[in-house]
Amino acid sequence: MEVYNHTYTLRNCRFVIDYQKILENVNIIVDNGKIKDIGKDIEGDEIDCSNYVVTPGFINSHTHTGMIFLRGYHDDSELMTWLEKMWEYEKKATKEILRLSSEISVLEMLSSGTTGFVDMYFNPEDIKELTEKYGIRAAAGYTFINNLFDPEEVSKKQLGLSKTGLFYPIVNVHSLYTSDKKTLEIANDIANEQDTWINIHLAETRKEIYETKLKYGKFPIEYLTDLNIKNYQGVHLGWVASWEIEYLKNARSVTHCPTSNMKLATAGAFPFYEISEKGINVTLGTDGASSNNSLDIIREMKNAVLLQRHSYWDTRIKALHVFKAATYNGYKLLGINGGLIDKNQVADFALFDASELYPLKKDRILSHIVYFATSENVKKVIISNKIINKEEIKENIKTLAKKLNKIIPD
């Protein structure tokens, strides 16, 4: 990892693309972790980008980094069976396994050009350390889940989490079916106190819809709205009625995890187009390594288009929608000026090898990034003042995976 605590220039970028534009052969000047200028000028150290397609860094808006150790474990079951198997095996996880899993997740995400993520698991202190170690941005927090932890205990630990330049404490609530009304109210109070948002799995399965309606007389989104929970990130939303979308205007963001939904056969389809049309912020997430099983946000963009088109029998959701969701909208969720390659935006980039995206034509670049590229094509990732090379990431992953293989429970 190279650290640039000063001005540098990404010189002669072959293509620069964000959701608003595509530029050709331009320089990007970075100063103090922010974009200072785009054009023909050069300042400070130079990085030759004549063979790179430069995109904003990607935000993986929903994952469970600590779950790498569960990858491939009973992953051919349906959601509730799988979840029970997970919970059983999770008991075997040591702190070391969780920390190692989270670190491998961070490296896998960097490997696909991910510069920030939202994590829901039980080790946010590890995540905070990892943001310092690798320079990646993360929102994470302790998780309210009634069958595992006492809400008062979670609250105490959560209030000990503080914000840094890279780390944002959030209040994780596993779901409505694992958290009662009291827990939700506690979580909401803490979110208000910490000036942050609630991150919650929402309207994921028909079972959840049914049970919420049976218990509270309301559908999940309706119920959250009635509790006056406003600053929340709803994840999954496979089973949303058209009239419920209006309620989502309360949400900070909603997050689509297409691969996980399809793999777990939850069947519902996140109403991407209808939600976007209402001006609600749609972001993308890979979900964890046990349900996806990849943490590759580039694959996720493609899979979002695939799920949407297959479900709605039309091509309304285009490459641009998912690219925006994974870049600009992700930064919006995190509350950072980023996801655009413009002056004063954070200098977070993924650098794709242009010689691997062919036929290399300006009007096909977006299609290549979304439909053709893989994380293999990302050669460098830049977050603010740190530049990380792919080879370095891959070497680190191999070393840590070897450690994990040695201590993984049966």
| Single-letter amino acid, residue 189 | D
Q: How far is the CB of 369 from a copy of itself (least distance, A)?
A: 10
Measured from the CB atom, the residue of 5 and 25 that comes closer to a copy of itself is: 25
Size of the site for a copy of itself (CB under 8 A): 59
Q: How far is the CB of 351 from a copy of itself (least distance, A)?
A: 17
Q: DSSP per residue over 288-353, as a string? A: -TTTS----HHHHHHHHHHHHHHHHSS--S-HHHHHHHHTHHHHHHHT-S-SS-STTSB-EEEEEE
Task: Candidates 104, 171, 257, 326: give the one binding a copy of itself (CB under 8 A).
Answer: 104
Measured from the CB atom, the residue of 43 and 376 that comes closer to a copy of itself is: 376
Parallel, antiparallel or unpaired: strands 167-169 and 198-202: unpaired
Q: How far is the CB of 196 from a copy of itself (least distance, A)?
A: 32
The distance of Cα 118 from the centroid of its chain, to the nearest Å, equals 5
Q: Residue 332: enclosing H or E segment and its boundaries? A: helix 328-334
Could you say whether residue 60 binds a copy of itself (CB under 8 A)?
A: no
Asked if 232 and 199 count as a contact pair (C-beta separation under 8 A), the reply is yes
Could you say whether residue 408 binds a copy of itself (CB under 8 A)?
A: yes
Of 114, 119, 53, 118, nearest to 301 by C-alpha is 114
Q: Is 250 helix (H, G, I), strand (E, B) or coil?
A: helix
- Looking at the DSSP bridge assignments, the partners of residue 235 are 201, 255
Phi–psi pair at 153, nearest 5 degrees: -65, -45
Q: How far is the CB of 115 from a copy of itself (least distance, A)?
A: 20
User: Helix count (H) and strand count (E) of the chain?
Assistant: 14, 19
Measured from the CB atom, the residue of 40 and 406 that comes closer to a copy of itself is: 406
The distance of Cα 58 from the centroid of its chain, to the nearest Å, equals 8
The C-alpha angle 41, 341, 119, rounded to 5 degrees, equals 140
Cβ atoms within 10 Å, residue 25: 13
Q: How does DSSP classify residue 74?
A: S
| Sequence-ordered alpha helix ranges (H) in 91-218 | 95-111, 124-134, 151-159, 181-193, 206-216
Q: Which residues from 341-400 bind a copy of itself, rule CB under 8 A? A: 355-356, 358-361, 363-365, 367-368, 371-372, 374-376, 397-398
Q: How far is the CB of 237 from a copy of itself (least distance, A)?
A: 15
Q: Which residues from 209-238 bind a copy of itself, rule CB under 8 A? A: none
**Distance separating alpha carbons of residues 112 and 281, to the nearest angstrom:** 23
Could you say whether residue 312 binds a copy of itself (CB under 8 A)?
A: yes
**Distance separating alpha carbons of residues 274 and 280, to the nearest angstrom:** 9
The size of the chain, in residues, is 410
Measured from the CB atom, the residue of 147 and 313 that comes closer to a copy of itself is: 313
Measured from the CB atom, the residue of 37 and 356 that comes closer to a copy of itself is: 356
- Write each residue from 261 to 280 as x if it is in contact with a copy of itself (CB under 8 A), else as -, in one continuous string: xxxxx-x-------------
Measured from the CB atom, the residue of 123 and 253 that comes closer to a copy of itself is: 123
Asked if 190 and 225 count as a contact pair (C-beta separation under 8 A), the reply is no
- Write each residue from 64 to 103 as x if it is in contact with a copy of itself (CB under 8 A), else as -, in one continuous string: ----xx-xxx-xxxx-------------------------
Measured from the CB atom, the residue of 7 and 367 that comes closer to a copy of itself is: 367
Site stretch for a copy of itself (CB under 8 A), options 12-20, 42-50, 148-156, 309-317 = 309-317
Measured from the CB atom, the residue of 231 and 294 that comes closer to a copy of itself is: 294
Which residues of this protein are in contact with a copy of itself, per CB under 8 A? 68-69, 71-73, 75-78, 104, 259, 261-265, 267, 289, 292-294, 296, 299, 303, 305-307, 309-315, 318-319, 355-356, 358-361, 363-365, 367-368, 371-372, 374-376, 397-398, 401-402, 404-405, 408
